[in-house]
Amino acid sequence: MRTALFVLMMAIGALSSGTAFAQSETDRLRDALRSATAQTRALEDQRTALQAKVADADREKAAAKKEVDDLKAQLKKADKEHRDAVDEFNQRLAERDETLEKWKSAYEEAATVARTKDAERAKFEGEATAYKASTKSCIAKNTQLIKAGKEMVQRYKDLTIGEIVVSREPMIQQRRVEIQNQLQESQDKFLDQKVNP
């Protein structure tokens, strides 16, 4: 554009310096002016096209910047959602571990109680078996004691006055020895049936 103006100025300067120039010079200058005008218009068109390209590039740049900003915002949002999901997962995992530990503890406690109850049951079953055996033994010994007691009562019932007198007779004391032997025999039967704790 400056070149065109310079050429135009020179043409005007040449025209104003006088009519010394010939017609051909005027034609040449007119041609030069037309050429300069055409170049100026071409340059103006080129400048307008370039300005349109710059404007398009600015719009594309702004759109690209907006797209980059949108993508950055989406990335931040996705990153935050990912961190939140990981935190939530870790929290759920910690809660699950805590619940698992509670269940483990409860299971161990229940197992301990079950083992204790099994041990008590086994102990009570052993005691019950011992008591049953002891009861059978006591019943058998009671039967023997009752029998020995009945025999003794029967002997006293069968005792006559003569036998009582003979048993107290100081000289021979044979009957007294028999009675003492019978008493000793009865006492032995009673002692054999005694229950030991």
Average pLDDT taken over every residue of the chain: 80
- Whether the CB-CB separation of 137 and 194 falls below 8 Å is answered with no
Max CA distance (Å), the chain: 210
Q: Using one digit for the tens of pLDDT, what is the confidence trace for 39-50?
A: 999 999 999 999
Q: Provide mean pLDDT across the span 165-170.
A: 61
Q: 52-106: per-residue pLDDT in tens? A: 999 999 999 999 999 999 999 999 999 999 999 999 999 999 999 999 999 999 9
How does pLDDT run across 127-141, given as a tens digit for each residue?
888 888 878 877 777
Q: pLDDT-based confidence at 15, cuts 50/70/90?
A: low
Question: Could you tell me which residues come within 8 angstroms of residue 169 by beta carbon, excluding any fewer than 6 positions away?
Answer: 175, 176
Query: For the chain, which residues make up each domain, given as ranges?
Result: 35-193
Give pLDDT, residue 70: 93
Specify the pTM: 0.37
